[in-house]
Each structure stands twice: as structure tokens, then as C-alpha cells.
């Protein structure tokens, strides 16, 4: 009788060993691991999107500052000298982001300093300014 029981136990063990497929526990562990990976990838894509938007804004701000300085340098110094001590604050219409632009002219009539500052309304963008000295050329 003991040999029958032993052989039956061996047959049941071999049957369990021969089964193919996954158990429910293995599938649940795989799903948990997959969900952890997907959540971390979603967080990464969100932060990359924020950085991309911020960098696009900074590139636009740099272009705007360069454009304004070029405009100040190419203007006749007499037209800038009239504005000594004046600060002009406006909002350009053509910008994709809302910003306040401030242009201040200071100095003497033969050497002017033009300060252009931009202050974005969006808090994710940073405030920036640039100074340019314009000299009278004879």
C-alpha cells in the first residue's frame, strides 16, 4: 500500500510540474511592476513637457531682447537722446506669451545706456534684462 501511495504522490507532483502557463500571483506581480514603470514614465514625460515649454519661452525672450537692442542700436542717437530719463512700459502684441516690456534710456547725449527688461506674466518664465551702451559716432 505504501508503494501505491508513494507512486500516486509522485504522479501528482509530476502533473503539477508539467503544467504550463502562469499563476495568478505571477500575473499580478507583473502587472504591479508594469504599472510602476508606466507611472514613472508618465511623470518623466510631464517634466520634459514643462522643460520644453520653459526653454521655448526662454528662446523667445532672448530673441525679443536681441530684437529690441538691435532696434535701439540702429536708431539715430538723437532720437534716443530725447528719451533720456524716460521709462516706457508696454506689452508687445506679437508675443506668444504675455510679457511686460520696460525700456529705459539713461546717460549723456553722446553716450547713452539703453536698458530693456522683460517680465513675463507666466510664473514659469523668468524675468530678464539687457543693457546696451550706444555711442555717438562722428
Q: For position 100, what pLDDT does the model report?
A: 76
Residue that wins the pLDDT comparison between 89 and 103? 103
DSSP letter for each residue of 54-113: HHHHHHHHHHHHHHHHHHHHHS-HHHHHTTBT-EEEE--TT-SS-EEEEEEEEE-SSEEE
Maximum average pLDDT range among 76-85, 93-102, 107-116, 127-136: 107-116
Maximum average pLDDT range among 7-11, 33-37, 48-52, 76-80: 33-37
pTM recorded for the entire structure:
0.54
What grid cell was written down for 105?
A: 534710456
Q: For position 16, what pLDDT does the model report?
A: 60
Query: 111-120 and 99-107 as β-strands: parallel, antiparallel, unpaired?
Result: antiparallel
Bridge partner residues of 111 (DSSP): 135
Range scoring the smallest mean pLDDT among 58-67, 69-78, 89-98: 89-98
Kindly tell me the burial class for residue 119, based on how many C-beta atoms sit within 10 Å of its own C-beta (0-12, 13-18, 19 or more).
middle
Residue 45 pLDDT > 80: yes
d(CA 81, CA 107): 8
Q: For position 14, what pLDDT does the model report?
A: 63
Amino acid at each position: 500500500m505504501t508503494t501505491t501511495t508513494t507512486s500516486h504522490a509522485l504522479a501528482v507532483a509530476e502533473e503539477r510540474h508539467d503544467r504550463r502557463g502562469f499563476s495568478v500571483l505571477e500575473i499580478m506581480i507583473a502587472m504591479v511592476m508594469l504599472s510602476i514603470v508606466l507611472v514613472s514614465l508618465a511623470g518623466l514625460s510631464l517634466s520634459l513637457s514643462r522643460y520644453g515649454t520653459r526653454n521655448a519661452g526662454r528662446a523667445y525672450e532672448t530673441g525679443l531682447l536681441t530684437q529690441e537692442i538691435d532696434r535701439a542700436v540702429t536708431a539715430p542717437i538723437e532720437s534716443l537722446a530725447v528719451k533720456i530719463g524716460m521709462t516706457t512700459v508696454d506689452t508687445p502684441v506679437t508675443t506668444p506669451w504675455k510679457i511686460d516690456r520696460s525700456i529705459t534710456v539713461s546717460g549723456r547725449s553722446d553716450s547713452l545706456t539703453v536698458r530693456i527688461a522683460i517680465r513675463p506674466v507666466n510664473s514659469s518664465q523668468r524675468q530678464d534684462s539687457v543693457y546696451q551702451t550706444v555711442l555717438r559716432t562722428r
